[in-house]
């Protein structure tokens, strides 16, 4: 058994949730916030048999894509403001960050 923890951008959350349900994967969704851009994320907790991990990874890859987005940087809260960029910059957002953890037992009641 594995516990797959997938952190995805909110824009991809519903699409991934529907794909998981359609493919008989059960998941727990948690609202989370990214540290770099302070944008909304969804964290999925998915218990899965070892043999289904590749299929699950494919589903996540197919439904969570990276994209370019213009963001306004957060102003510095203190310290040196010499490196502060006061105009929007283009950054890559989206995609998924995935952790696959071994678990000894998995129960669903």
pLDDT tens, position by position, 58-105 = 999 999 887 666 666 665 555 555 555 567 766 656 678 999 999 998
Q: What is the reported pLDDT for 100?
A: 97
pLDDT at 57: 96
Sign of CA dihedral 28, 33, 34, 35: negative
What average pLDDT score do residues 8-21 get? 91
Res 106: pLDDT: 76
Class at the top of the CATH hierarchy for domain 2-72+87-102: alpha beta
54 pLDDT higher than 60? yes
Q: What is the torsional sign of CA 78, 69, 15, 58?
A: negative
Question: Could you say which DSSP state residue 50 is in?
Answer: G
Which is it for the CA torsion 57, 17, 2, 95, positive or negative?
positive
| pLDDT at residue 16 tops 70 | yes
């Amino acid at each position: 058994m594995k516990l797959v923890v997938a952190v995805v951008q909110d824009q991809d959350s519903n699409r991934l949730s529907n794909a998981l349900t359609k493919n008989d994967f059960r998941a727990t969704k948690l609202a989370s916030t990214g540290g770099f851009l302070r944008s909304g994320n969804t964290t999925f907790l998915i218990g899965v048999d070892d043999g289904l991990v590749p299929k699950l990874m494919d589903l996540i890859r197919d439904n969570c894509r990276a994209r370019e987005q213009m963001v306004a940087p957060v102003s510095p809260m203190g310290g040196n403001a010499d490196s502060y960029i006061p105009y929007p910059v283009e950054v890559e957002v989206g995609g998924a960050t995935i952790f696959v953890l071994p678990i000894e037992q998995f129960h669903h009641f």
